[in-house]
Chain A
């Protein structure tokens, strides 16, 4: 599906990618990790045909730079930083839909599933939306078409827990017919989403490993948290995860956590470990 053959990229004298050889097959969900300057963004830009480079990059045996429209028509891309576009949201959606040959209604529909009603913001400038709204629009544009490759740079970083849950469901719907490349600084942000991890350092692949694929993208965990005493900060955090105060005094909480979000949830709750009495996470039947 995706093949990097001896790909190198040099900016002036700095070698940012150094002889990358990779093959990524259909249906693989790859975490592309590495510290700042490791070469993740450069690799993605080479894949999108935006950088000239040594070596070859092909998607389904076609080079993105030479066959731009055909290749990019099969790629859905979500950047880490939303572009500061002054155009209205409606025009961005129509523009993208026209170029990608998809129905704009599909993009609106996915944005709606992510919890963003596009109707009231169609005339608003994209750049004036909140970080979360921008992210939802960009995800909706990437997923609102028949993309064979999804390239996402920290895609869930600005989403609230509920939107993340829907986002994982949307990815689950595509996992059998699309290849996913998810870039992140930290593995724990994306580890439960992927079945392969590629780590870059100084422009080279330093780790390429398959990981256990036991976490269902659309799975849910039933969760119960009890505390020794009411803790307002924890109550606020759990409310953002849509948990219910079942004891009515702030000491017992119940809710659902999306399967791929379990690490993030545990990370969040660990900050309040001093007041936590009991935590249980039970996988629900799908």
Chain B
């Protein structure tokens, strides 16, 4: 356990000094600042006003940015470290492979989750200072959704890093994964599939397997419990899970997918050449 925390601490310090982390923090802090600056708390959409409107917009923007950011920075730094000889040296020290791999995941998880979470906390603090009501339920669920999203894409990123033998290959693979998930969002390929007479169950099945779509639907479910904006597919989802069941699924499935991918990555890592 000591080795795991030492490795996690090491990864945190390395990340805090990296340029990607500074940009990453600036992006999410900037989003919240801009949303306040443009008076989003005073606008109204679908009956949502105040901080809930801001949080809905924030989570939608985060869903667009966080996956690709986490995927690319994870594979770049892990595969890059391996290529540069960092693994050769640090893995010559007496640290177990499990402590090293999971320590890196723990450290990186804290580093990628902290800025998005702290940006949300900052919005709550500003809202309280401005006398705006805080929707605590929504804040809690969105925090859990962000935590699940970060775990999901970090796990996938670590799996790609374990598989790829070069930074270029890892970056290419990460981009392809993200692009594939993006293509299977409801607005793009799923629409085409339904137009092309593909069975609705298949389209909904694909949507449920796509973590990006799961996050989107769960975020919508908070202010559109009947999922009216999703059209007929809402019937399948709500019949299968119910509104509350789907919200639980939206947290559990991506988290399990991320941990599963990380576990597979660990098995590949420990059975192969390390540097």
Contacts and interface: CB of A to CB of B under 8 A. Distances in A.
Contacts of A91: 10, 13
A93 to B, nearest CB: 12
A45 B10 contact: no
A72 B13 contact: no
Interface in A256-275: none
A51 B274 contact: yes
B92 interface: yes
Interface string B63-95: 000000000000000000000111111111111
A72 B99 CA distance: 14
A96 B93 contact: yes
- Which interface class (under 10, 10 to 19, 20 to 34, 35 or more) fits A? 20 to 34
Given A69-B95, A91-B10, A83 B275 contact: no
A71 B86 CA distance: 20
B53 to A, nearest CB: 40
A68 interface: yes
A91 B6 CA distance: 10
B86 A99 contact: no
Given A45-B88, A77-B89, A87-B14, A50 B274 contact: yes
Interface string A65-107: 0001111110101010111111110010001101110000000
Interface string B5-36: 01001100110011000000000000000000
A84 B86 contact: yes
Interface string B185-199: 000000000000000
Given A50-B92, A99-B95, A84 B6 contact: no
Contacts of A99: 3, 6, 93-95
A52 interface: yes
A72 B89 CA distance: 12
Contacts of A100: 93-94
Interface string B84-128: 111111111111110000000000000000000000000000000
Contacts of B87: 50
Contacts of B13: 87-88, 91
Determine chain A's interface SS by DSSP, over half rule: mixed
Contact of A50 (B2, B14, B84, B88): B88
Nearest to B274: A50
A63 to B, nearest CB: 14
Determine chain B's interface SS by DSSP, over half rule: helix
A151 B2 CA distance: 26
Contacts of B96: 68-69
A182 to B, nearest CB: 16
Given A50-B91, A69-B95, A125-B17, A87 B10 contact: yes
A48 interface: yes
Contacts of B18: 86
B34 to A, nearest CB: 30
B272 interface: yes
B182 to A, nearest CB: 31
B93 A51 contact: no
Nearest to B275: A50
Contacts of B88: 45, 50, 79, 83
Contacts of A96: 93
A48 B17 CA distance: 29
A152 to B, nearest CB: 12
A51 B273 contact: yes
A50 B90 CA distance: 11
Nearest to A74: B94
B92 A77 contact: yes
B84 A72 contact: no
Given A50-B91, A50-B92, A45 B275 contact: yes
A69 to B, nearest CB: 4
A50 B274 CA distance: 5
Nearest to A75: B92
A100 B3 CA distance: 10
A206 B193 CA distance: 65
5 contacts: A52-B271, A68-B94, A69-B96, A87-B17, A99-B94
Of all A-B residue pairs in the complex, the 3 with the closest CB atoms, nearest first, are A72-B94, A73-B94, A83-B89
